[in-house]
Structures are given as C-alpha cells and as structure tokens.
Amino acid sequence: MKVIVGIPSYNNAGTISFVVKQAAEGLKKYFGGGIIVNADGGSTDGTREVVLNTKVPDGVKIYSFVYRWPIPGKGSAIKEIMEFALKRNADVIVFVDSDLRSITPEWIYRFAKPIGESYDFVAPLYVRHKWDGTITNNIAYPMTASLYGKDVRQPIGGDFGISRKLVEIYLEDEEIWKTHVARFGVDIFLTTTAIARGFKIIQTSLGMKIHDPKDPAASLGPMFNQVVGTLFMLMKKYENIWKNVRTIKPVPTFGELEKGEPEPVKVTLRLLEIKARELFVKHKPVLKKALNEETFKGIVKALETFEFEDKLWSHVLYDSAVAYKNGILSEAKPLVPLYFAKTADFIKKTMNMSTLEAEKLVEERAKVFLEEKDYLLERW
C-alpha cells in the first residue's frame, strides 16, 4: 500500500518538525517508507525550511511546496496535496495538522490501515479537553449526526485517512474549491462528502489531541463562518440525502478509545459574553429576517441571561440553514454572536465537570437536534 502523508501549514515552524518526525517514523515502521508532503501558505517563519531539514529514516522522502490555488487557506493546501498524491499513484493519503503535539507514529498506521481493509474515509477519534473544539461540539457534530445519520464524533478534527477513490471524488468539481472549502470549510466538506456519497467510513482511536488551541472569542469567528457556511452550502447540495434520515447510526471504531483528562484549554468566558452582545447589536437586523419569530425572541433572552438550551440552538441553526437556502443569509457570520453565547452557556454549565462528564452533554445535544429535525423539514 502506497501511503502519502500530507501536512498543510502556515507559520508553524515551532511545531511542524515534530509532526514530520512522527509521521516519518510511522511510515517507516508500518509501511516500509513513503512520502511526506507539506503544502504551505507562504509562511514567513521558515516553516518550509524546518520541514525540509527534518531528519527522517531512509525510505521516507520529504517534499514541500507553496500551493498555487489563489485562495489562501487550509483547503487550498489540502487540494494540492491530493493532486500531488494522485500523480504519484498513492493508495492512501493521511492528513495531519502541523500544530499537533500529541501525534505518534501509530497515528499513521491507524489512519492508513483501515483504507487497506476496504474503508474509504477514516475520521479521527480523540479525547479533547471539554473546552477545545467548540465549533465541533456545538455545530459540526450535532448537525452531521442529525442530518446525515452517522455518529462521527469529530467531523472537523482536521486529521483524516482517505482512499484514492474518494480523493478523485473530492477533486471532481473544481468550482467547490472556490468557496470556503478552500479555507477552514475543507474539513466539513471532506466528511460530509464521504457520508453523502455513500463511502465506507470508520473512526480511528488516537488518544489525546493536543495542539495549539484557540480561544473562541479571540480567534474563532472567521473559522465559524467558513465551517458553517460550508455546512449550509452542502445542505443544499445534498438535501435529497439528509431529508430521509431519521436515526443516528453508530460508526465503527478502529482500536480502543483511551480515557483521561487532557491538558486544559483556556477560554475567556467574559470575552465571549462581551463579544456576543457587541456583535449581536451589529447583526440584529439580518437575524430578525433570517430567524423564525419564536427563535428570535429566544435568542434575545439568551443574550441577556447566557442560558442557551440545545432546542433553541437547533432552531437557530435550522432557521439559518433555511434562510441560507432562500438567499436571506449569504454568510454564516451573523450567527457568530449566537455561537459565542452558546459557548458561554456551555462553559458555565461544565465549569466543574470533567471532560468525560461534559461529553455526555454533547451527546445529548445531537439527540435534541435529531428530535427537532421535523422542525427543519417543515420549513425547508
């Protein structure tokens, strides 16, 4: 099996060498060698030099290039890594982020092995701190599970194993790479496409995910817009798939899931609340148009109390998806204050919980989204 490891980067000189080293050892140990390819967004901190200067075992080759696709973003890097891998007849591509600090050589095995066993898409399953992955926990996970009926816990984890057959599908429509898919929309695009197009999918156990996390209110606004915008775009494209789904089915897992308490992620609750209120004022007119009257009343209250129930949150996302379909919303940006408010609610509710206890709330959320799916179907 020919395995290529792809690493997107943009100014990751401090962490990428470790990732390259772990990947190279994994390729050598489990596959007798292979290729590592880095697609960079024009880093100014010497990321590419660090990649090329990393010492790796014999049989592992390293490439690094700056992608040419004119939209700067993670997706553009992923696109060109896939093109590179097809040219070299790879059977499998394993994507890993360049800021990972918990990656081990086994990760390469765990992503690539299931592809050899007839799977086409391997999603990561890791233990993440309760306050890491707030876009995953609040949106990507419950929406993917309830819409498409697959219990993929980390649909935008960032690291994936993908078969050549599926890579060809991802590249078949160039137009899609001119959207937010070229940026942080790429992860939800990869996962949703694999599910909607009926490919065989599996999760793989990786232990902890430790990376350079972001404080939501300080830096996750643009990422939210890109992920949620892509999710809404794909809802339009695949409406005939998700409309018929009424249950959430488990997805098999490769390996045993570890338990433990990951290193804490810092979240500034106060900043979330301040920014939520500030941005709400700005986006109020368009939210009033996009949301159902009841939903709008609900969020006005939620912005006062910072209590934000899952049912209301599902209606916010469902109303918005409908508004996006009907051209009333062109971007997911007006929802950012509501995401901040929902995140603030979750931070408060889980303040004294372990990561495992907080996990139960996230699982419940997906069930609420499924229960409310009729609400979406009536309005779509």
Which residues lie near Mg ion (CB under 5 A)? 99, 211
262 is a site residue for ligand GTP (CB under 6 A): no
**Residue 249 near residue 317, CB atoms below 8 Å:** no
How far apart are CB 39 and ligand GTP at their closest, in Å?
6
98 is a site residue for ligand GTP (CB under 6 A): yes
Degrees, nearest 5: CA angle 74-36-93: 65
Give 46 or 116: the residue with its C-beta nearer to ligand GTP.
46
Give 12 or 146: the residue with its C-beta nearer to ligand GTP.
12
Of 113, 124, 75, 110, residue with least CA distance to 91: 113
Q: Which residue stretch of 7-15, 232-240, 315-323, 336-344 sits at the interface with ligand GTP (rule: CB under 6 A)?
A: 7-15
Report residue 158: phi and psi, to 5°.
100, -20
Give 49 or 374: the residue with its C-beta nearer to ligand GTP.
49
**Residue 184 near residue 160, CB atoms below 8 Å:** no
Give 214 or 284: the residue with its C-beta nearer to ligand GTP.
214
How far apart are CB 126 and ligand GTP at their closest, in Å?
12
Residue of 12, 22, 163, 355 that binds ligand GTP (CB under 6 A): 12
Give all strands (DSSP E) within the chain, no chain letters.
3-9, 34-40, 60-66, 92-95, 121-127, 160-163, 201-208, 253-254
HSE (CB half, 13 Å, CA atoms) of 194?
Answer: 29
317 is a site residue for ligand GTP (CB under 6 A): no
Q: How many positions of this chain bind ligand GTP (CB under 6 A)?
A: 20
Binding partner at 41 among ligand GTP, Mg ion, none, C-beta below 5 to 8 Å by kind: ligand GTP
Which residues have CB under 8 Å from 330's CB, separation 6+? 324
At residue 3, what is the residue type? V
Question: Between residue 167 and residue 206, which ones bind ligand GTP under the rule CB under 6 A?
Answer: none
Of 317, 149, 322, residue with least CA distance to 245: 149
Return the bridge partners of 161, or none: 94, 122
Which residues have CB under 8 Å from 369's CB, separation 6+? 142, 143, 145, 146, 310, 314, 317
Question: Between residue 105 and residue 134, which ones bind ligand GTP under the rule CB under 6 A?
Answer: 133
How far apart are CB 97 and Mg ion at their closest, in Å?
5
Question: Between residue 211 and residue 250, which ones bind ligand GTP under the rule CB under 6 A?
Answer: 211, 213-214, 220
Cα separation, 171 vs 229, whole angstroms: 20
Give 163 or 204: the residue with its C-beta nearer to Mg ion.
204
How far apart are CB 35 and ligand GTP at their closest, in Å?
18
Which chain residues interact with ligand GTP by CB under 6 A?
8-10, 12, 39-41, 72-74, 77, 97-99, 133, 158, 211, 213-214, 220
